[in-house]
Amino acid sequence: MTHTPTTESTTVVAGVELPCGRFDALWADHFAMPYPPHFHDTWAIGVVEAGLLQLRTARGEWVGGPGTILAFAPGEIHSAATLSATGYRYRMVYPSSELIRGISAANPVDAIERPFQVPVFTDHQLAGQLATAHQPLIEGQWDTKAESDLVAALRSLWRNYRTTSTESHDVQDLHAVERARDYIGSRFAKQVRLASIAAECGLSAFQLIRVFQRVLGVSPYAYLVQLRVNRARDMLHQGVGVSEVAYSCGFSDQSHLTRVFKKAIGVPPGTYQRAVRERAA
At residue 17, what are phi and psi to the nearest 5 degrees? -110, 115
Mean pLDDT, the chain, integer:
84
- What is the total count of domains within the chain? 2
Q: Is the pTM of this model over 0.85?
A: no
For residue 106, is pLDDT > 70? no
Which tens digits make up the pLDDT trace of 156-183?
998 888 875 455 567 888 889 989 999 9
Domain end residue (candidates: 136, 161, 186): 161
The C-alpha torsion from 106 through 230 and 27 to 143, rounded to 10°, is 60
Across the range 231-257, mean pLDDT stands at: 92
With 0-12 / 13-18 / 19 or more C-beta atoms within 10 angstroms meaning exposed / middle / buried, residue 4 is: exposed
Helices in the chain by DSSP H: which ranges? 97-104, 124-139, 144-161, 171-186, 194-201, 205-216, 220-237, 242-248, 254-265, 269-280
Can you give the pLDDT at residue 1?
A: 45
Residues 16 and 153 in one domain: yes
pLDDT score of 278 more than 70 = no
According to the model, what pLDDT value does residue 281 have?
A: 55
Answer yes or no: is 35 within a domain. Answer: yes
Domain boundary among 161, 182, 211: 161
Closest by Cα among 103, 46, 108, 43 to 74: 43
pLDDT at 110: 43
141 shares its domain with 256 = no
Of 12 and 78, more confident: 78
How many residues belong to the chain? Answer: 281
Q: Flag whether 206 is in a domain.
A: yes
Domain check: are 138 and 226 in the same one? Answer: no
At 145 the pLDDT is 79
Give the domain extent around 209: 171-280
